[in-house]
């Protein structure tokens, strides 16, 4: 479990097709590596990976075909900057939102505009696995960064976020250009609400498979005991 508050940036390389090497040249990387151990979980651009080898200035991890297909890690070129966050520890502050590191899909940056001291970033997506959980003022993880949706399309096929200066400066959001792809993870709370509402509508029939698109409205949630 993560919070979406990025600790440092790393540089990605691919020693082998399904192995990732992360180098941490920043001072924040030193602090991250000091507590890192074999088998720990680290979110790399929002993707939860398991540390296999600890290096003097970084670590290695493997990515399964499912991870590479669902995320954009396999599309990154050598030397790409990635966001890093170690897993949440008991007693740690939770300043973002609950992020699992299980990416739902990807989106594409349409534009990034500086407004006063913040950046308004707009993204498009066509994957219903992500779009269904995007709501105004809801939480979303973009490359592992916890952000609040400021506006979105009625079907969730586009959304905008406002990025404050410290988040922009300390994450790889600063390097994004229009047309670049990002990893997206919807809020886990919305997923559970959808699942429980569906089960109740089906008479609590046990089921563990992708759910059909549901018309989740305020009236629907109220009817099923969630409001």
Average pLDDT over residues 111-130: 92
220: confidence class by pLDDT, cuts 50, 70, 90: low
What CATH number belongs to 105-188?
2.40.30.20
What CATH number belongs to 8-86?
2.40.30.20
Alpha carbons 175 and 188: distance in angstroms, whole number: 27
Query: Does residue 226 carry a pLDDT above 60?
Result: no
The percentage of the chain sitting over the pLDDT mark of 70, rounded to a whole number, equals 88
Contact between 41 and 87 (Cβ < 8 Å): yes
Tell me the C-alpha to C-alpha distance, in Å, between residue 4 and each of 42, 44, 60, 116, 145: 12, 11, 21, 24, 5
Q: What stretch(es) of the chain map to CATH 2.40.30.20?
A: 8-86, 105-188
């Amino acid at each position: 479990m993560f919070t979406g508050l990025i600790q440092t940036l790393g540089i990605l390389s691919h020693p082998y097709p399904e192995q990732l090497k992360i180098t941490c040249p920043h001072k924040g990387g030193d602090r991250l590596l000091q507590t890192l151990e074999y088998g720990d979980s680290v979110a790399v651009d929002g993707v939860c990976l398991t540390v296999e080898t600890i290096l003097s200035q970084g670590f290695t991890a493997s990515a399964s075909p499912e991870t590479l297909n669902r995320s954009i890690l396999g599309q990154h070129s050598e030397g790409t900057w990635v966001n890093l966050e170690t897993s949440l520890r008991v007693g740690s502050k939770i300043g973002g939102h609950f992020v699992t590191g299980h990416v739902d899909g990807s989106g594409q940056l349409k534009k990034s505009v500086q407004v006063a001291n913040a950046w308004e970033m707009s993204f498009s997506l066509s994957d219903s696995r992500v779009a269904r959980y995007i709501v105004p003022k809801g939480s979303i993880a973009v490359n592992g960064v916890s952000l609040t949706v400021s506006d979105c399309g009625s079907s969730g096929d586009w959304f905008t976020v406002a990025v404050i200066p410290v988040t922009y400066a300390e994450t790889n959001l600063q390097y994004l250009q229009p047309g670049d792809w990002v990893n997206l993870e919807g809020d886990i709370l919305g997923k559970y609400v959808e699942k429980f509402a569906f089960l109740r509508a089906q008479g609590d029939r046990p089921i563990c498979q992708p759910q059909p698109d549901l018309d989740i409205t305020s009236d629907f949630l109220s009817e099923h005991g969630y409001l």
